[in-house]
């Protein structure tokens, strides 16, 4: 059996050290263009608590107004970071 990291040494920090860019903060918003409703393994760990906005606009056609619309949609959401509604 090959040697590796002992299970008791694997925690969130150990995983983060092996991500694409461990120093980059997790995104608050991810915009998925082209009408796709999948994330294709893109930043799976990092977007766990991100808000997702889906748009039919293709990436080459995505403009400032589309970004503005996505940010407005994001601002109207209640961020719970995995928690439940407080009401």
Task: Name the residue ranges covered by the structural domains of the chain.
Answer: 29-78
Q: Distance (Å, rounded) from C-alpha 48 to C-alpha 25?
A: 12
The pTM score is 0.76
| CB-based contact 61:35 (threshold 8 Å) | no
What is the SS3 assignment for 52?
strand
**Arithmetic mean of pLDDT, 72-86:** 84
Confidence class for position 1, pLDDT limits 50, 70, 90 = very low
Q: What is the DSSP letter of 71?
A: H
Q: Report phi then psi at 51, rounded to 5.
A: -85, 135
Listed as own residue / partner, the contacts of 59-62 with beta carbons closer than 8 Å and 24 or more positions apart are 59/33, 59/34, 62/31, 62/33
């Amino acid at each position: 059996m090959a040697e590796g990291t002992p299970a008791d040494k694997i925690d969130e920090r150990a995983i983060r050290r092996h991500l694409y860019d461990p120093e980059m903060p997790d995104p608050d918003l991810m915009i998925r263009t082209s009408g796709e409703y999948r994330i294709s393994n893109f930043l799976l760990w990092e977007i766990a608590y991100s808000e997702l906005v889906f748009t039919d606009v293709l990436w080459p056609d995505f403009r400032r107004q589309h970004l503005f619309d996505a940010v407005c949609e994001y601002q109207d959401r209640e961020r719970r970071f995995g928690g439940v509604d407080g009401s």
